[in-house]
């Protein structure tokens, strides 16, 4: 599978390193779409990829799928265009908090028969949440996120609950800190019904996420403690791995958890 990536940050570099240098499952990054060709010349040389700053030329460069690995603004600008020609993996999940954009993506994908893939990112249990809501009988979902206090600009000793409310409210108030609530809401009962607690804690050094859900199926609890990427402390290693895992799932004829 030949991959095109929008963006050239830490996750894009991780994907190139794992595919180009370690020859993972016949996956290869062929093309990068970037704003500044000059800035990324060395990156292209290091990983043997071709740079583009024209989206149409990028999409026509012989790639099979596009990974959006830039930011929310780039996702909103380019994903609809991408879907006219290719399937896409969206990493900047925050873009889908905009309901109008989410609906646009759905409609364009449907019109051109191209799928949109959303990696689970920094959390797990998304398949279980989807399955539990298969008949619309998932009753409640609570995400409790605990992060180092300094990541919220909080100068406290111990812990402080800084937010309790719906995922919709959490996304609005903490757009850079609570992307996990978006994928959880999309998989389950929506942004208005998914509840979120956010705790700033001076005693922790990593991000902790706990998911609790109840319904006619029973109840479940998942807990994840995330290590950051070595190259980017603001991105969890699991988020990067979930992108690579999605690409690998698309390659195999045995689909686990789908």
**Can you give the length of the chain in residues?**
258
Higher pLDDT, 257 or 1: 1
Average pLDDT, the chain: 93
Do 18 and 101 share a domain, yes or no? yes
Helix (H/G/I), strand (E/B), else coil: 61: coil
Residue 24: per-residue pLDDT:
58
Give the CA diameter of the chain: 56
Nearest to 180 by CA among 166, 167, 199, 193: 167
Evaluate if residue 78 carries a pLDDT over 80: yes
Same domain, 130 and 210: yes
Please indicate, yes or no, whether residues 184 and 105 belong to a single structural domain of this protein: no
Average pLDDT of the segment spanning 218-235: 91
Look up the CATH number of the domain holding residue 219.
3.30.360.10
Name the catalytic one among 114, 150, 208, 209: 209
pLDDT at site 154: 81
Q: Is residue 196 part of a domain?
A: yes
Cβ pair 181, 194 in contact under 8 A: yes
Residue 217 sits in the same domain as residue 244: no
Question: 111 and 26 in one domain?
Answer: yes
Whether 191 and 220 map to the same domain: the answer is yes
Mean pLDDT within 225-245: 90
Q: For residue range 17-51, list pLDDT tens digits in order.
A: 999 866 656 899 999 999 999 999 999 999 999 99
Q: Which residues contact 140 (CB under 8 A, 6 or more apart)?
A: 189, 193, 195, 212, 213, 214, 215
In this structure, is residue 257 part of a structural domain?
Answer: no
Domain match, 159 and 52 both: no
Are 140 and 63 contained in the same domain?
Answer: no
Q: Does one domain contain both 74 and 169?
A: no
- What is the C-alpha separation between 170 and 136, in angstroms, rounded? 23
- pTM higher than 0.75: yes
Helix ranges (DSSP H) in the chain: 10-16, 41-47, 55-59, 72-83, 99-112, 126-132, 167-173, 180-187, 237-251
Domain total of the chain: 2
pLDDT score of 30: 96
Q: Does residue 140 form part of some domain?
A: yes
Radius of gyration of the chain (CA): 19
193 is in an annotated binding site: no
The upper half-sphere exposure of residue 135, i.e. CA atoms within 13 Å in the direction of its Cβ, equals 4
CB 11 within 8 A of CB 30: no
What confidence tier does 239 reach under pLDDT thresholds 50, 70, 90?
very high
Does the pLDDT at position 152 exceed 90?
no
Report CA dihedral (154, 225, 74, 65) to the nearest 10 degrees. 180
pLDDT score of 254 more than 90 = no
User: Same domain for 139 and 193?
Assistant: yes
Q: Same domain for 12 and 112? A: yes
Domain extent at residue 203: 126-226
What pLDDT is recorded for position 25? Answer: 63
Residue 256 lies in a domain: no
Is 233 one of the annotated binding-site residues? Answer: no
| Catalytic status, residue 209 | yes
Vertex 168 angle, CA 163 and 238, to 5°: 80
**What pLDDT, on a 0 to 100 scale, did the predictor assign at position 84?**
97
């Amino acid at each position: 599978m030949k991959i095109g990536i929008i963006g050239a940050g830490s996750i894009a570099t991780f994907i190139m390193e794992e595919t180009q240098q370690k020859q993972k499952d016949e996956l290869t990054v062929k093309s990068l779409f970037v704003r500044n060709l000059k800035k990324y010349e060395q990156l292209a040389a290091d990983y043997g990829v071709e740079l583009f700053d024209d989206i149409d030329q990028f999409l026509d460069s012989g790639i099979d799928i596009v990974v959006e690995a830039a930011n929310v603004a780039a996702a909103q600008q380019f994903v609809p265009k991408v879907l006219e020609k290719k399937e896409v993996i969206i990493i900047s999940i925050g873009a889908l908090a905009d309901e109008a954009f989410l609906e646009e993506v759905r409609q364009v994908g449907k019109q051109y028969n191209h799928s949109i893939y959303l990696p689970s990112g920094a959390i797990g249990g998304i398949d279980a949440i989807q399955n539990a809501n298969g008949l619309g009988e998932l009753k409640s979902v609570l995400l409790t996120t605990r992060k180092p206090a300094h990541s919220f600009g909080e100068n406290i000793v111990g812990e402080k609950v800084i937010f309790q409310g719906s995922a919709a409210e959490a996304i609005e108030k903490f757009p850079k800190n609570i992307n996990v609530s978006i994928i959880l809401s999309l998989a389950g009962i929506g942004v208005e019904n998914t509840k979120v607690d956010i705790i700033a804690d001076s005693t922790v050094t990593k991000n902790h996420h706990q998911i609790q859900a109840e319904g006619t199926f029973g109840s479940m609890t998942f807990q994840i403690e995330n290590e950051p990427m070595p190259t980017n402390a603001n991105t969890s290693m699991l988020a990067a791995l979930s992108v690579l895992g999605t690409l690998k799932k698309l390659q195999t004829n045995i689909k686990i958890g789908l």
